Amino acid sequence: MTIREEVERRRTFAIISHPDAGKTTLTEKFLLFGGAIQVAGAVKSNKIKKTATSDFMEIEKQRGISVATSVMGFEYKGRKVNILDTPGHQDFAEDTYRTLTAVDSVIVVIDVAKGVESQTEKLAEVCRMRNTPVIVFINKMDREGQEVFDLLDEVEQKLKIKVRPLTWPIGMGERFQGVYNLYESNLSLFSPSDKQRVVDSLDIPDIHDRRIDEIVGEKAAAQLREEVELVNGVYPDFNLQDYRDAKVAPVFCGSALNNFGVREMLDCFVQIAPSPRPMETEERTIKPLDPRFSGFVFKIHANIDPNHRNRIAFLRITSGRFERNFNYTHVRLGKQLRFSSPTSFMAEKKEVIDEAYPGDIVGLHDTGNFKIGDALSDGEQLHFKGIPSFSPEMFRYVENADPMKTKQFQKGLEMLMDEGVAQMFIKKANGRRVIGCVGALQFEVIQHRLEHEYGAKCRYEAVALSRAMWLDSDDDAELARFVDMKLNNMAEDKEGQPVFLADSAWALQMAQEQYPKVRFHAKSEF
Burial call 328-352: b when 16+ CB within 10 Å, e when fewer: bbbbeeeeebebeebbbbbbbebee
Can you give the pLDDT at residue 300? Answer: 82
Can you give the pLDDT at residue 304? Answer: 59
Q: Within 10 A of 274 (CB to CB), how many other CB atoms are there?
A: 20
The angle that helices 148-159 and 118-129 make with each other, rounded to 10 degrees, is 50
Are the CB atoms for 148 and 167 separated by under 8 Å? no
More confident residue, 462 or 62: 462
Average pLDDT over residues 110-130: 85
pLDDT at 468 over 60: yes
Instruction: Report which of 184, 205, 197, 191 is spatially closest to residue 252, judged by C-alpha positions.
Output: 184
More confident residue, 13 or 202: 13
Sorting pLDDT into bands at 50, 70 and 90, what band is 144? very high
Q: Which residues pair with 301 in a beta bridge?
A: 312
Spatial distance between the Cα atoms of 279 and 265, rounded to a whole number of angstroms:
26
Can you give the pLDDT at residue 73? Answer: 83
Burial call 470-504: b when 16+ CB within 10 Å, e when fewer: bbebeeeeebeebbeebeebbbebeeeebbbbbee
Average pLDDT over residues 423-427: 91
Q: Which residues contact 269 (CB under 8 A, 6 or more apart)?
A: 11, 13, 107, 135
Burial call 122-158: b when 16+ CB within 10 Å, e when fewer: ebbebbeeeebbbbbbbbbbbeebbebeebbeebeeb
Average pLDDT over residues 325-354: 84
Can you give the pLDDT at residue 89? Answer: 42
Sorting pLDDT into bands at 50, 70 and 90, what band is 134? very high
Spatial distance between the Cα atoms of 496 and 502, rounded to a whole number of angstroms:
18
Sorting pLDDT into bands at 50, 70 and 90, what band is 348? very low
Can you give the pLDDT at residue 288? Answer: 95
The distance in angstroms from the start CA to the end CA of the chain is 42
**In angstroms, what CA-CA distances link 185 with 288, 328, 381?**
34, 49, 50
User: What single DSSP character describes residue 281?
Assistant: B
More confident residue, 466 or 1: 466
Q: Within 10 A of 464 (CB to CB), how many other CB atoms are there?
A: 8
Can you give the pLDDT at residue 489? Answer: 93
pLDDT at 323 over 90: yes
Q: Which stretch of 39-53, 173-187, 338-352, 370-384 has the lowest confidence by average pLDDT?
A: 39-53
Q: Which residues contact 184 (CB under 8 A, 6 or more apart)?
A: 201, 264, 267, 268
Spatial distance between the Cα atoms of 114 and 140, rounded to a whole number of angstroms:
10
Are the CB atoms for 268 and 250 separated by under 8 Å? yes
Are the CB atoms for 142 and 192 separated by under 8 Å? yes
Sorting pLDDT into bands at 50, 70 and 90, what band is 305? low
Share of the chain above pLDDT 70, in %: 84
Can you give the pLDDT at residue 473? Answer: 92
Average pLDDT over residues 455-477: 92
pLDDT at 62 over 70: no
Q: What is the pLDDT of residues 75-114, one digit of tens each?
A: 888 999 998 876 544 544 566 777 888 899 999 999 999 9
Can you give the pLDDT at residue 70? Answer: 66
Q: What is the pLDDT of residues 371-407, one digit of tens each?
A: 888 999 998 999 887 665 666 778 999 999 998 999 9
Average per-residue pLDDT in the chain?
A: 83
The secondary structure of 67-131 as a DSSP string is: -S-EEEEEEETTEEEEEEE---SGGGHHHHHHHGGG-SEEEEEEETTTBS-HHHHHHHHHHHHTT
Q: What is the helix (H) or strand (E) element at residue 285, kind and residue range?
A: strand 285-286
Sorting pLDDT into bands at 50, 70 and 90, what band is 461? very high
**What structural domains and CATH numbers belong to the chain?**
3-272 (3.40.50.300), 279-377 (2.40.30.10), 394-521 (3.30.70.3280)
Spatial distance between the Cα atoms of 512 and 504, rounded to a whole number of angstroms:
13
Average pLDDT over residues 472-500: 92
Q: 173 — alpha (psi -120 to 50), left (phi > 0) or beta?
A: left
Can you give the pLDDT at residue 31? Answer: 83
The secondary structure of 376-415 as a DSSP string is: EESS----B--------SEEEEEEES-GGGHHHHHHHHHH
Average pLDDT over residues 53-81: 60
Can you give the pLDDT at residue 47? Answer: 35
Share of the chain above pLDDT 90, in %: 47
pLDDT at 69 over 80: no
| pTM: predicted TM-score of the whole model, two decimal places | 0.77
Burial call 52-76: b when 16+ CB within 10 Å, e when fewer: bbbbbbebbeebbbbbbbbbbbbeb
pLDDT at 38 over 90: no
Length of the chain: 526
pLDDT at 350 over 80: no
Can you give the pLDDT at residue 460? Answer: 93
Can you give the pLDDT at residue 59? Answer: 40
Can you give the pLDDT at residue 390? Answer: 61
pLDDT at 244 over 80: yes
